[in-house]
């Protein structure tokens, strides 16, 4: 079935039975993540939502069948390790790396990592590695990294990924989202022999708590909202529409032959010629920073 930018996650999963499948959705209790959790649950999946604020997550997920909450902070490797050790499901069919932060003030987490790079990328890199036994046990698992609309000017600051020489919140965000794309690209290369495929997705423009670090004045200047705080007509999708490409990448047979693809509006794109080498370089850097590389070692 062909889907469009107006399709919702429920549209994508219509007629798909996920009974007996297990999914993990980071950030799965707010915005696009909540819509993702609800759609997967409605299709029959058991959905585990690791959350930095588990009480808030339980409140948001109340009434959603088969949704479970556990505690995890993507900026804290010890917290990620503890979650992975508590994950007792014999196999993991779907991992959606959805949680993220955007344009926050300069913040260091963990052992001195810039927060956006840490939460949006390094935490998900570590989580995927630590859940690798469950992913390979599924036989046909998929990992989906929720990125953003790719700009050709995006880059990884290889010599200063933590912005110690001067912080630009938008450059840091762009770096973290490019890292999501490159992470999925290399994960698919490493995982395909083990039955694990990986993709990255652009959810489109959605107003969610992701914008919490932006002032009204910044969003007015960007042309997102008017002075009264009302969204510019036609610019933003709903959270349910934003979740569509992620659940499509997690389930669609149309992605056969497109491993590692960056997906937009429920379709794969050709990608960037430099992605292969940059993705391998990022993987090596992430392994060095986290001290974790269970997948790279086979």
pTM for the model stands at 0.92
Please give the positions annotated as active site.
173
For the chain, list the strands marked E by DSSP. Answer: 22-25, 46-51, 67-71, 94-97, 108-109, 113-114, 142-146, 197-202, 262-264
Name the token pair of 22.
């297990």
| 134-187 confidence digits (pLDDT tens) | 999 999 999 999 998 888 889 999 999 999 999 999 899 999 999 999 999 999
**What proportions of the chain, in percent to the nearest 5, are helix, strand and coil?**
40, 15, 45
Q: 103 vs 63, which has greater pLDDT? A: 63
Q: If pLDDT is split at 50, 70 and 90, which confidence band does 298 have?
A: very low
CATH architecture of 9-208+239-286: 3-Layer(aba) Sandwich (3.40)
pLDDT for 220: 64
């Amino acid at each position: 079935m062909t889907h469009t930018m107006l399709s919702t996650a429920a549209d994508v999963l219509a007629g798909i039975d996920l009974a007996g499948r297990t999914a993990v959705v980071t950030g799965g209790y707010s915005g696009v993540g909540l819509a993702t959790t609800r759609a997967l649950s409605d299709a029959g999946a058991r959905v585990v939502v690791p959350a930095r604020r588990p009480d808030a997550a339980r409140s948001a997920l109340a009434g959603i069948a088969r949704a479970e909450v556990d505690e995890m902070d993507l900026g804290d490797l010890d917290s990620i390790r503890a979650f992975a050790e508590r994950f007792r499901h014999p196999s993991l069919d779907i991992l959606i790396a959805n949680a993220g932060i955007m344009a926050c003030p300069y913040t260091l987490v963990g052992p001195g990592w810039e927060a956006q790079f840490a939460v949006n990328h390094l935490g998900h890199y570590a989580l995927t590695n630590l859940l690798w036994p469950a992913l390979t046990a599924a036989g046909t698992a998929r990992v989906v990294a929720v990125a953003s609309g790719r700009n050709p000017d995006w880059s990884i600051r290889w010599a200063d990924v933590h912005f110690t020489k001067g912080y630009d919140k938008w450059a840091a965000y762009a770096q973290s989202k490019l890292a999501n794309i490159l992470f999925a690209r290399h994960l698919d290369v490493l995982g395909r022999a083990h039955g694990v495929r990986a993709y990255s997705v652009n959810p489109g423009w959605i107003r969610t708590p992701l914008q919490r670090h932006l002032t009204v004045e910044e969003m007015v200047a960007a042309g997102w909202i008017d002075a009264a705080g009302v969204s510019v007509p036609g610019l933003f999708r709903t959270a349910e529409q934003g979740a569509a490409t992620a659940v499509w990448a997690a389930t669609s047979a149309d992605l056969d032959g497109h491993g590692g693809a960056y997906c937009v509006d429920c379709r794969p794109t050709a990608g960037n010629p430099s992605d292969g080498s940059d993705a391998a370089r990022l993987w090596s850097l992430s392994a060095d920073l986290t001290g974790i590389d269970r997948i790279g070692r086979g």
